[in-house]
Structure 1
Amino acid sequence: MKSSVTEERTLNIRVMLFILASLILMITDHRFGYLQTVRTHLLTLVYPIQYLVNLPLKTGQWLSMSANRRVKLLEENAQLYEENLRLKVGLQKYQHLNKENKRLRQVLRSSTRLGERVMLAEILAVELDSAKRDITINKGSKHGVFINQPVIDAQGVIGQITQVGMFSSIVMLITDYNHQLPVQIERTGLRTVAKGMGTVNRLSLLYISNIGLNDGIKIGDLLVTSGFGDKFPKGYPVAIVIDVTPDIGKPYAQVQASPLARLEQNSEVLLVWKTNK
Structure 2
Amino acid sequence: MNEVFPRGPSLFTRLGFVLGFSILAMFADTKVESVATFRAYLTSLVSPLQYIANMPGVLLSWSASSLTSRQNLIEENEKLITQMTLMNEQLQRFVVLQQENEKLRTLLDAPVQSEMHKMIAELMAVDNNPYSHQILINKGAIDGVFTGQSVLDENGIIGQIIEVGTTNSRVLLISDVTHAIPARVSRNNVTVVVSGIGDLNELSLEHVPHSTDIQEGDMLISSGLGNVFPQGYPIGTISSIVRDEGQPFAQVKAIPSAKLDRIKYLLLLWPQSTAPAQAVSAVEVNTSLEPSQ
Q: Is this a same-fold pair by TM over 0.5?
A: yes
**Aligned partner (choices 221, 229, 232) of residue 218 of structure 2:** 221
Flag the 1:178–1:98 CA change in 2: closer, same or farther, 3 A: farther
Flag the 1:93–1:230 CA change in 2: closer, same or farther, 3 A: same
1:154: Cα distance to partner?
Answer: 1.2
The aligned amino acid for 2:230 is P
1:92: Cα distance to partner?
Answer: 9.4
1:248: Cα distance to partner?
Answer: 1.8
Distance in 2 (alpha carbons) for counterparts of 1:97 and 1:134: 32
Flag the 1:203–1:94 CA change in 2: closer, same or farther, 3 A: same
Flag the 1:261–1:95 CA change in 2: closer, same or farther, 3 A: farther
Structure 2 residue 252 is matched with structure 1 residue 258: no
Task: Note the residue ranges of structure 2 that are not aligned, 5 or more in a row.
Answer: 1-65, 99-113, 274-293
The structure that has the greater radius of gyration is 1
1:171-215, Cα deviation, whole Å (9 max, x unpaired): 1111111111110101111111110011111000012101x24xx
- Larger helix fraction of residues: 1
Corresponding residue number in structure 2 for 1:17: none
Structure 2 residue 274 is matched with structure 1 residue 274: no
Corresponding residue number in structure 1 for 2:232: 235
* Equivalent runs, 1:59-70 vs 2, <5 Å: none
Distance in 2 (alpha carbons) for counterparts of 1:95 and 1:129: 41
Corresponding residue number in structure 2 for 1:130: 130
Corresponding residue number in structure 1 for 2:203: 203
Q: Is the 8 A contact 1:155 1:237 kept in 2?
A: yes
SS at match of 1:194: strand
1:80-101, Cα deviation, whole Å (9 max, x unpaired): xxxxxxx985369749976997
SS at match of 1:197: strand
Corresponding residue number in structure 2 for 1:12: none
Q: Number of residue pairs matched?
A: 184
Distance in 2 (alpha carbons) for counterparts of 1:100 and 1:253: 44
1:221: Cα distance to partner?
Answer: 0.1
Corresponding residue number in structure 1 for 2:142: 142
**Aligned partner (choices 55, 58, 69) of residue 90 of structure 1:** 69
SS at match of 2:145: coil
Distance in 1 (alpha carbons) for counterparts of 2:79 and 2:157: 20
Distance in 2 (alpha carbons) for counterparts of 1:274 and 1:239: 23
Q: Is the 8 A contact 1:141 1:165 kept in 2?
A: yes
* Equivalent runs, 1:1-277 vs 2, <5 Å: 90=69, 94=73, 115-210=115-210, 212-213=211-212, 216-275=213-272
Distance in 1 (alpha carbons) for counterparts of 2:170 and 2:240: 31
SS at match of 1:207: strand
Tell me the TM-score normalized by structure 2: 0.56
Distance in 1 (alpha carbons) for counterparts of 2:121 and 2:130: 26
Flag the 1:146–1:187 CA change in 2: closer, same or farther, 3 A: same
Distance in 2 (alpha carbons) for counterparts of 1:263 and 1:203: 11
Q: Is the 8 A contact 1:131 1:199 kept in 2?
A: no
**Superposition RMSD in Å:** 3.3
Task: Note the residue ranges of structure 1 that are not aligned, 5 or more in a row.
Answer: 1-86
SS at match of 1:223: strand
Distance in 2 (alpha carbons) for counterparts of 1:266 and 1:99: 25
The aligned amino acid for 2:202 is R
Flag the 1:195–1:90 CA change in 2: closer, same or farther, 3 A: same
Identity value in percent = 35
Flag the 1:143–1:136 CA change in 2: closer, same or farther, 3 A: same
Corresponding residue number in structure 2 for 1:14: none
Distance in 2 (alpha carbons) for counterparts of 1:223 and 1:160: 17
Tell me the TM-score normalized by structure 1: 0.59
Distance in 1 (alpha carbons) for counterparts of 2:266 and 2:67: 30
